[in-house]
Structure 1
Amino acid sequence: MNAAVEGWSGRVDLPDTAATRRWHQWVREPVAGAAPGVAVLGFACDEGVRRNHGRVGAAAGPAALRAMLSNLPVLDDTPLYDAGTVACTDGDLEGAQRRYADRLADLLDAGHFPVGLGGGHEIAFATYQGLAKHLGARRPRVAIVNIDAHFDLRQQAQASSGTPFLQAIEHAAALGLPLDYCVYGISAAANTRALFDSADQLGVHYVRDDELGLLALPQRLAELQEKLAKVDAIYLTIDIDGLPHAMAPGVSAPAARGVPMEVVEPLLDVVASTGKLRVMDVAELSPPFDRDNVTARVAARLIHRVTHAASRATSR
């Protein structure tokens, strides 16, 4: 059995075998030459939320997510690693994003599937930068799939949690990297006309929260499958504030409506089943505002589901 990794603990079921194993029993620290696996990487930062005039608290997200992931069952033999946490404690968001991107690129270079534990949604530009660094001179077509109530395409003097996807689109254009941005759960009540105009001008594919009912779900899943068939690599990012407030109260910006789990999970299943998913992250969990850790539990469940589905897809 692996030695305990800091931040991970939980119950041990008997008999203590592979079939009763939980994440806290399976996780270990990555070392050079380790077999490729899932590697969680924390981003303890809410400087972007502060700059975007949101309620801070997301910096505590990585610790809360590790606590909720600890007791989840191990469903396959894919190695599990904890690559530590990059913290932003001095207001230097850009420096923290660069450090995170460098560490994430190293994980990708080593063959791991990185899972970012945010932190505010400023993690997204850091994740994108890490993926771009890993790709280097290669120019595959990349899709960013975002579950979110917000476009996060703001034009601002400083980078924030509201700017990461505009930053990624502009960065990719400068590199000549083909990039598609798809966002599911957009709230008409949470985005200005200017943001909708920007999304249209940039060719963003978006589906509003009120267009994601169960009756429309088969059509939405087919559309997503069609779009992802045309790309080579996928970055999945989940903003927990895109879920209903009753399901995700502990977020930086609570949703008035949101997209329920019975819609979100099938969307994530489509993404993971492609075998093209290279990296994912979860953003905007704000533990100081959580109730009974319900938001952290929801976020952990989604990570658990996606990592297992992605492992199955790539092992076929």
Structure 2
Amino acid sequence: MIQDQANDARIAPWQGRIDSEEAGNSRRWHQVVRPVAEAEQPGRALVGFCSDAGVARNKGRVGASEGPLAMRRQLANLAYHLEAPLFDAGDVVCEGDALEDAQQAFAERVTGLLDQGHRVIGLGGGHEIAFASFSGLFEHARRQARPPRIGILNLDAHLDLRNAERASSGTPFRQCAELCEREGVEFRYTCLGVSQTGNTEALFERAKALGVEWVLDDACRSIASPEVKGALDRLMARVDMVYLTICLDTLPGWIAPGVSAPAARGIELAFVEDVIDYLAARTALPMVDVAELNPSLDTESRTARVAARLVERLAR
């Protein structure tokens, strides 16, 4: 189900402080964002994926369906430093267990926004958003003259390559691999911040079989390290664009407690930001998303604030 942000009660988050006494530019996000239907030129388009179904199927702690709302609340009061217009394209809401329908609807929304020239930022929701985001980007890219060469960069404690009968928050990149196989294109997937103890040997073996490259969390200390920089450079050398997805459980649990599976170690926020900047300076990032925000498990909105900071950086 798709909800139109302009005609929905969830528009409420777009309100906040107004610094009317300032003489210069004092705009904040809530003063700039407009419904995407009013877009006269391409810009940054936010679209939420309100889903708990994938986390529930993966036997995780539910509550991520409220993640997009919590992100917007934190984004609303941020100072506006973008050079492009900002639009809200509403939410795709997963009703009950209808995950596959919601993923298809989100993918179609993403494809449409990309076709209109927007850069799309997905707000999650469980990490099942990843298959929907990639599918939407793939459909947009396949309309080009040659087969799409899309790289996936996942910042995540988990490889999310599970072998299961039904889609979940643990299966999205296996599903991406299957989509690539059906379409006869190479599957190019790199994951940074992987927890050795959070992934079974079977998952690492599947990653090897699929040609996945990963870097463990304890090696993700600096963007300049040969292991990290090499992994990023090798991915970008093989593709025309990168789909960047950030699972908030890649951050330390004390920084991002509001996720289904908080990390005992994780990777630092500064490292995540450095990766965003490194990619943005070197390759196209038409589709990005931030996933797994669970407000019901958050403390003092710490995770939501971090998520908003990442979304702002991705938009900028």
Select 1:234's aligned residue among 220, 242, 255. Answer: 242
Q: Is residue 103 of structure 2 the alignment partner of residue 106 of structure 1? A: no
Q: Is residue 104 of structure 2 the alignment partner of residue 67 of structure 1? A: no
Describe the shift of the 1:34–1:218 C-alpha distance in structure 2 as closer, same or farther (beyond 3 A): farther
Partner of 1:84: 90
Amino-acid identity (%)? 48
Q: Which deviations, in whole Å up to 9, do the C-alpha atoms of 1:102-140 show, x marking residues without a partner? A: 111100000001111100000001111111121234313
Describe the shift of the 1:222–1:47 C-alpha distance in structure 2 as closer, same or farther (beyond 3 A): same
Partner of 1:141: 149
Select 2:124's aligned residue among 118, 125, 129. Answer: 118
Describe the shift of the 1:204–1:80 C-alpha distance in structure 2 as closer, same or farther (beyond 3 A): same
Q: TM-score, normalised by structure 2?
A: 0.92
SS at match of 1:89: coil
Q: Is residue 211 of structure 2 the alignment partner of residue 203 of structure 1? A: yes
SS at match of 1:189: helix
Q: Which deviations, in whole Å up to 9, do the C-alpha atoms of 1:270-309 show, x marking residues without a partner? A: 122124111001111100000010000001101111221x
Q: Is residue 296 of structure 2 the alignment partner of residue 297 of structure 1? A: no
Describe the shift of the 1:262–1:162 C-alpha distance in structure 2 as closer, same or farther (beyond 3 A): same
Describe the shift of the 1:80–1:185 C-alpha distance in structure 2 as closer, same or farther (beyond 3 A): same
Alignment of 1:143-222 (within 5 A): 143-214=151-222, 217=225, 220-222=228-230
Describe the shift of the 1:152–1:104 C-alpha distance in structure 2 as closer, same or farther (beyond 3 A): same
Where do 4+ consecutive residues of structure 1 move more than 6 Å? none
Q: Residue 230 of structure 1: CA displacement? A: 3.0
Partner of 2:31: 25
Describe the shift of the 1:147–1:106 C-alpha distance in structure 2 as closer, same or farther (beyond 3 A): same
- Unpaired runs of at least 5, structure 1: 309-316
Distance in 1 (alpha carbons) for counterparts of 2:302 and 2:38: 36
SS at match of 2:196: coil
Q: Residue 7 of structure 1: CA displacement? A: 2.7
Partner of 2:42: 36
Q: Residue 214 of structure 1: CA displacement? A: 3.7
Question: What is the RMSD computed on CA atoms of the aligned residues?
Answer: 1.9
Q: Is the Cα contact below 8 Å between 1:221 and 1:267 reproduced in 2?
A: no
One-letter amino acid matched to 1:53: K
